[in-house]
């Protein structure tokens, strides 16, 4: 820490940063331990932040959470950012946390168009390109974009059937429809090596409003040898948290159509 930093102010910001990274909330004793600050020093800071609604205490559990004043300050900042810039910043956060490749895609005539990505720092990871088109029905991110498509709409989108790309590719409309129905209930879509062998993918749709179909979708791709139940659970928690944040920002930025995201991606 540099000598020109005001320690009491730094402690206030440390509390806010810590709670912003902990959606489940923290007890006062946990905050004091994690920040290495005596409870007697921390208590008046917490009391002041709570009185100004920058944090709040759950009356049932006693855990502290981010409060409305912090939320409104964050919303004002988000509203000043172009939607795609904000989404890219959250994608970078996702990759920083989980270490895996993150993609943002939109639907283009039955295919996924990748409009943004953050590459995994691992030497072994999915290599992909922004601007690439892949069949939506055999990618995790593509299935999120198809999540509310009916049987008739799927057949119209793929009149020549579902082409096989790997031994795991779904080629049955009935199987695809069942997966999408399950995804509506669960909230996630998956790829298990269906377009790229050895790659596992978990994705979520991004809705800008109560529209029937998502504007875009967000995914995390992991080499199969690094994927397990614990990794999957961590990825799901991360995607759910960022899904709500991104959807809120899209509403603030009045993003209602995939063309708006595409326009920002290509600078028009």
DSSP 47-71: HHHHHTTSEEE-TTT--EEE-HHHH
HSE, side-chain direction, 13 A CA sphere, residue 251: 12
Q: Does domain 7-74 have CATH number 1.20.1630.10?
A: no
Residue labelled with tokens 């004043």: 69
At residue 2, the pLDDT reads: 44
Contacts of 49 (CB under 8 A, 6+ apart): 12, 15, 16, 55, 67
CATH 3.30.450.40 domain residues, the chain:
81-266
Note the pLDDT tens digit of each residue in 95-114.
999 999 999 999 988 899 88
Q: Taking a C-beta distance cutoff of 8 angstroms, is the pair 143, 136 a contact? A: yes
pTM score, two decimals? Answer: 0.67
User: Do the beta carbons of residue 104 and residue 114 sit within 8 Å?
Assistant: yes
Query: What is the structure's pLDDT at 219?
Result: 95
How far is Cα 105 from Cα 218, in angstroms, rounded to an integer? 7
pLDDT digits (tens, 9 = 90+) for 25-84: 889 999 999 999 998 999 999 989 888 888 888 877 888 987 766 655 655 544 444 778
Structure-model confidence comparison of residues 80 and 166, the more confident one:
166
Mean pLDDT of 190-195: 95
Q: Residue 63: phi, psi to the nearest 5?
A: -75, 145
Q: Which helix (H) or strand (E) holds 79?
A: helix 68-79
For the chain, give every residue range classified as CATH 1.10.10.10.
Answer: 7-74
Q: Domain 81-266: what homologous superfamily?
A: GAF domain (3.30.450.40)
């Amino acid at each position: 820490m540099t000598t020109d930093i005001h320690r009491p102010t730094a402690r206030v910001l440390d509390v806010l940063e810590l709670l912003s990274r902990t959606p489940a909330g923290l007890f006062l004793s946990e905050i004091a331990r994690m920040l290495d600050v005596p409870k007697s020093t921390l208590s008046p800071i917490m009391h002041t932040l709570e009185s100004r609604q920058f944090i709040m205490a759950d009356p049932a559990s006693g855990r502290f959470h981010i409060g409305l004043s912090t939320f409104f300050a964050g919303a004002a900042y988000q509203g000043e950012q172009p939607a795609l810039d904000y989404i890219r910043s959250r994608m970078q956060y996702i990759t920083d946390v989980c270490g895996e490749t993150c993609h943002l895609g939109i639907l283009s005539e039955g295919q996924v168009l990748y409009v943004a990505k953050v590459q995994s720092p691992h030497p072994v990871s999915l290599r992909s390109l922004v601007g690439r088109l892949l069949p939506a029905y055999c990618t995790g991110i593509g299935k999120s974009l198809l999540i509310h498509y009916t049987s008739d709409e799927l057949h119209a989108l793929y009149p020549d059937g579902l082409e096989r790309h790997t031994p795991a590719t779904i080629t049955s409309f009935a199987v695809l429809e069942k997966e999408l129905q399950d995804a509506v209930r669960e909230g996630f879509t998956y790829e298990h090596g269906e377009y790229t062998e050895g790659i596992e993918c978990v994705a979520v749709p991004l809705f800008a409003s109560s529209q029937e179909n998502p504007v875009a979708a967000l995914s995390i791709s992991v080499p199969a040898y690094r994927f397990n139940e614990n990794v999957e659970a961590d990825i799901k928690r991360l995607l759910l948290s960022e899904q709500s944040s991104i959807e809120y920002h899209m509403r603030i930025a009045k993003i209602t159509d995939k063309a708006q995201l595409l326009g920002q991606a290509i600078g028009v």
